[in-house]
Amino acid sequence: MSTQYWLMKSEPNVYSIDDLKREGRTHWEGVRNYQARNFMRDQMNLNDRVLFYHSNCNPPGIVGLATVSKLAYPDFFAWDSSSPYFDPKASPEKPIWMMVDVDYEAHFSKIISLEQLKNEAALAGMLVAKKGMRLSIQPVTQAHFDHVLEMAKH
């Protein structure tokens, strides 16, 4: 299976790329959207590459790279009643929600802001730049991924 490319959003005041660098690996818990879950469950493969995106901050944008290091498995925070991600409908027998593990790869030397992404002709059609796009896990084409890497060099 060839490498696939993704963009994953995190609010830096909840979990930032600095947190991921310090920990090396994290489980991507708390996804409570079926489409995003299905991407993780049905399509993500080991070593898929991830653009790490900081949302709900100023400025929002892509701050670095990560890789998928464990295939989807039940998000056990869903049945932990003390977790902010608790879902009373989920249980170990019926997990509902899934997560993958993600490894730190690199920081970009500086953030590639959402504004830059929107202004970049080569990234036309990239989901993250679309108005009203709230999906927290998005597929990225190889061409767009490669172009983001190029932008990160400059």
Partner DNA sequence: GCCAACGTTGGC
Please say whether the beta carbons of 49 and 145 come within 8 A: yes
Residue window 71-110: x/- pattern of binding to DNA, with contact defined by CB under 7 A:
----------------------------------------
From candidates 71, 135, 149, 151, binder to DNA by CB under 7 A? 135
- Entry field: residues in the chain: 154
Residue 114 touching DNA (CB under 7 A): yes
Cα 6 to Cα 44, 47, 94, 138, distances in angstroms: 9, 11, 27, 6
From candidates 41, 57, 101, 116, binder to DNA by CB under 7 A? 57
What does the buried/exposed string (b/e) look like for 67-90 if buried means 16 or more CB atoms within 10 Å of the residue's CB?
A: bbbeebebbbbbbeeeeebebeeb
Q: Would you say 58 or 82 has its CB closer to DNA?
A: 58
How far apart are the C-alpha atoms of 68 and 65, rounded to whole Å?
Answer: 10
Q: In this chain, which stretch among 15-23, 64-72, 103-111, 127-135 interacts with DNA, using CB under 7 A?
A: 127-135
From candidates 23, 25, 33, 94, binder to DNA by CB under 7 A? 33
Give the binding site for DNA (CB under 7 A).
9, 11, 32-35, 55-58, 60, 114-115, 131-136
